[in-house]
């Protein structure tokens, strides 16, 4: 069984929290249920997950404001970890106390399901140190043509991330350390180029670097085997970063409820 870490810290003046009139993004309700609770329910329903930790900024009102979370904490089903200044530093800190394999996701993923989690965990090869879940742009655009997502293009094909990661061995620490360096250099392009490597960057810009090649290059740069797992669920790539995402998630959950109500 794998441990799970939910990144649930909220940035100041988060647009989704502000739009919903909530103090914290994780408390924003989708389909009547706080997003964080939906994620925790999916993790607890998964056959692949054992213990669960939630990463929150110190003093966050989430546990006291949401009875179901408070009950899970009191029972020991969920533990709290203090967040650091950035997501990558939060993961780095969590690795000091949580064992691998460690599944990482975010609290703003209300469409996450146990089926998605189990599919991802089963699809990661045993010899891989770290894996990231992605959805092909063509699948997402056919399923939800009006969804506004960020796509990364490799050799002409677009992919969207799913906020779903698996750190499968101690060597995955090298991947997280590389992530912290990229975050630190995000406003210094030349340092980012140095981290990625100029040849790989040129191939990417020319549209000659495919996803598998990008993962091989990343593996070589960080000294750990990294793979991307393509997910067959379009909803796996829909998180809630802006009010329009919140409205889309509401519509999808309402449709799920209708479909479920129509079954015998």
Instruction: Give one DSSP letter per residue of the chain, joined into a string.
Output: -EEEEEE----TT-HHHHHHT-SSGGG-EETTEEHHHHHHHHHHH-TTEEEEEEEE-TT-SHHHH-HHHHHHHHHTSEEEEE--SSHHHHHHHHTTTSPSSEEEEETT-TT--HHHHHHHHHHS-TT-SEEEEEEEHHHHHHH-TT-----EEETTEEEEEEEEEEE-STTHHHHHHHHHHHHHTTT-HHHHHHHH-HHHHHHHHTT---HHHHHHHHHHHHTS-EEEEE-S-GGGG---SSHHHHHHHHHHHHHHHHHHHT--
- Residue-wise pLDDT tens digits, 21-50: 988 899 999 999 999 999 999 999 999 999
| CATH number of domain containing 120 | 3.90.550.10
pLDDT at 88 over 90: yes
Q: Please check whether residue 131 lies inside any domain of the structure.
A: yes
Q: Please check whether residue 264 lies inside any domain of the structure.
A: no
Q: Please check whether residue 132 lies inside any domain of the structure.
A: yes
Q: Is the pTM of this model over 0.75?
A: yes
Give residue 155's pLDDT band: very low, low, confident or very high (50, 70, 90): confident
Q: Please check whether residue 127 lies inside any domain of the structure.
A: yes
Question: Which of 218 and 91 is assigned the larger pLDDT?
Answer: 91
At 54 the pLDDT is 96
Percent of the chain with pLDDT over 90: 63
Number of domains into which the chain is organized: 1
At 254 the pLDDT is 92
Q: Please check whether residue 105 lies inside any domain of the structure.
A: yes
Domain of 54 in residue numbering reads as: 2-257
Q: Please check whether residue 263 lies inside any domain of the structure.
A: no
Q: Please check whether residue 213 lies inside any domain of the structure.
A: yes
Give residue 263's pLDDT band: very low, low, confident or very high (50, 70, 90): very low
Q: Please check whether residue 252 lies inside any domain of the structure.
A: yes
- Residue-wise pLDDT tens digits, 187-224: 554 455 456 676 666 666 667 778 898 888 889 989 99
């Amino acid at each position: 069984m794998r441990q799970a870490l939910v990144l649930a810290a909220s940035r100041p003046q988060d647009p989704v929290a502000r739009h919903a009139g909530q103090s914290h993004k994780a408390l924003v309700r989708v389909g009547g249920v706080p997003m964080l609770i939906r994620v925790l329910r999916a993790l607890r329903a998964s056959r692949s997950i054992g213990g669960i930790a939630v990463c929150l900024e110190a003093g966050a009102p989430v546990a006291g404001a949401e009875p179901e979370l408070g009950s899970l904490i009191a029972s020991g089903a969920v533990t709290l970890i203090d967040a650091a200044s950035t997501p990558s530093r939060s993961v780095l800190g969590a690795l000091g106390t949580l064992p691998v394999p460690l599944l990482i996701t975010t609290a703003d993923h209300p469409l996450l399901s146990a089926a998605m989690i189990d599919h991802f965990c089963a699809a990661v090869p045993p010899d891989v140190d770290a894996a990231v879940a992605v959805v092909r742009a063509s699948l997402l655009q056919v399923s939800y043509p009006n969804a506004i997502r960020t796509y990364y293009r490799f050799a002409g094909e677009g992919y969207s991330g799913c906020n779903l990661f698996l750190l499968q061995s101690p060597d995955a620490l090298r991947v997280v350390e590389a992530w912290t360096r990229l975050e630190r250099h995000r406003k210094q392009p030349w340092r980012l180029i140095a981290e990625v490597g100029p040849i790989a960057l040129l191939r990417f810009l020319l549209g000659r670097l495919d996803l598998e090649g990008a993962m091989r290059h990343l593996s070589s740069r960080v000294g750990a085997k990294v793979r991307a797992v393509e997910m067959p669920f379009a909803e796996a790539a829909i998180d809630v970063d802006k009010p329009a995402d919140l409205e889309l998630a509401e519509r999808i959950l309402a449709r799920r409820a209708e479909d479920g109500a129509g079954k015998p």
